[in-house]
Chain A
Amino acid sequence: MAMPDLLAHALLAYAICTVLSVRYDWLTPAYVTAGMAGAFIPDVMKIVLIVPDAAMEAILGVPFSWSGIHTAGGALVAVLIGAAVVVPAERRRIGALLGVGAASHLLADALLLTPSGYSYGVLWPALRVHPPTPGLYLSTQPGPTVVAGAAALLAWGYVRRGWLR
């Protein structure tokens, strides 16, 4: 499964979280950064390129699929781990932002073009279904990154520099 490059994901998370900071005073650039970090969570599954599923199964003797991380369930557990890694007072905010970042990644990937017209088990394990995808782009196309970059730039300009206000 290919996916929009991680820069597109990070820029998208940056844009979303920066815009959210208009609504939430406490959402400083540090918290925006937490949102960006969350956007990387689902792609932890890319470890599969170094240690394939079959290799893990051979070593561990159990079924194994790294792409389980690239689902709502896997991302949720990973977000909870991230929340446990920050000091307790910051847990809820950082956890929420990691979740926003991870969710934006999963959603953006669900719009990728696939040969079958269906995406992946984005809502697993809650739902088994692979929803149909509008097939908007390929991960290897620069288009999504350019759009995400423009959104990030506009968000930065509006929120941090007061453009258009």
Chain B
Amino acid sequence: MLRSPRARLLAVLVLLCALFGLVVWHGTLEPAPEAGSFPGTEELAADYDAYLGERVTVGGRVVETDPVVVTAEYGVDESIRLTVVGLDPSVAVKEGATLRVFGVVKPDRTIRSSNAFTVPTSGLWYTWTVSALAGLWTLARIVRRFRLDREQWGLVPRERSVSLRAIVRRGRGTSGGDGDA
């Protein structure tokens, strides 16, 4: 079933359409607090007053600390300013940090926090750097341990892995012969 390259290509296209369908469907989902899915910044920005008294989850960069004000982003480069009150004293609010809040919507763009915590800005840089390293590590392993079967148009595990140096040499055309016996 589905062995020819053409059939597989068609399958990939069909699957991409399915993935697109899922992503569009996911975009239609409304908040469902009874299922643990709470409204967020986007909903508040669209119609703040509709959510008065509702519990929401928002997150944003701290721009003021007394009172605590965050800029919560949504859409494309849009943001709303929200004042957060009722924070537990143990929450260390510093300008520039990201504050994530679960709380009740009050009038005047104010959220009364039930539970909140901060994420330091440096934490986000850490995540990105380390994630990039992980990507490179995995990519290197794939390149070393798989090869492209030109007849079948697909990746195949190699019998024996190849060193990165050998692959670079091969790419530069300076090495002769097939390295992966």
A20 interface residue (CB < 8 Å to B): no
Contact of B146 among A2, A5, A33 (CB under 8 A): A33
CB-CB under 8 A for A130 and B29, given A31-B157, A74-B19, A116-B102: no
Q: Once bound together, how far apart are the Cα atoms of A117 and B22, in whole Å? A: 26
Question: Which range holds the interface residue count of chain A?
Answer: 35 or more
Q: What are the residues of chain A within 8 A of B161 when measuring CB–CB? A: 29-30
Q: What are the residues of chain B within 8 A of A43 when measuring CB–CB? A: 131
The smallest C-beta distance from A60 to any residue of chain B, in angstroms, reads: 8
Q: What are the residues of chain B within 8 A of A157 when measuring CB–CB? A: none
A102 interface residue (CB < 8 Å to B): no
Q: What are the residues of chain A within 8 A of B57 when measuring CB–CB? A: 114-116
Q: Once bound together, how far apart are the Cα atoms of A116 and B33, in whole Å? A: 10
The smallest C-beta distance from B96 to any residue of chain A, in angstroms, reads: 14
The reply to whether A5 and B156 form a contact with Cβ atoms under 8 Å apart is no
Q: What are the residues of chain B within 8 A of A129 when measuring CB–CB? A: 35-37
Q: What are the residues of chain B within 8 A of A18 when measuring CB–CB? A: none
Question: Which range holds the interface residue count of chain B?
Answer: 35 or more
The reply to whether B22 and A90 form a contact with Cβ atoms under 8 Å apart is no
The reply to whether B22 and A88 form a contact with Cβ atoms under 8 Å apart is no
The reply to whether A7 and B27 form a contact with Cβ atoms under 8 Å apart is no
The reply to whether B127 and A118 form a contact with Cβ atoms under 8 Å apart is no
A125 interface residue (CB < 8 Å to B): yes
A84 interface residue (CB < 8 Å to B): yes
The reply to whether B19 and A69 form a contact with Cβ atoms under 8 Å apart is yes
The reply to whether A128 and B35 form a contact with Cβ atoms under 8 Å apart is yes
Q: What are the residues of chain B within 8 A of A29 when measuring CB–CB? A: 141, 145, 161
B residues near A (Cβ < 8 Å) are: 2-3, 8, 11-12, 15-16, 18-19, 22-29, 32, 35-38, 55, 57, 59, 74-76, 100-102, 115-117, 119-120, 123-124, 126-127, 130-131, 133-135, 137-138, 141-142, 145-146, 149, 152, 154-158, 161
Q: Which 4 A-B pairs have the closest CB atoms?
A: A140-B123, A68-B26, A63-B27, A118-B36
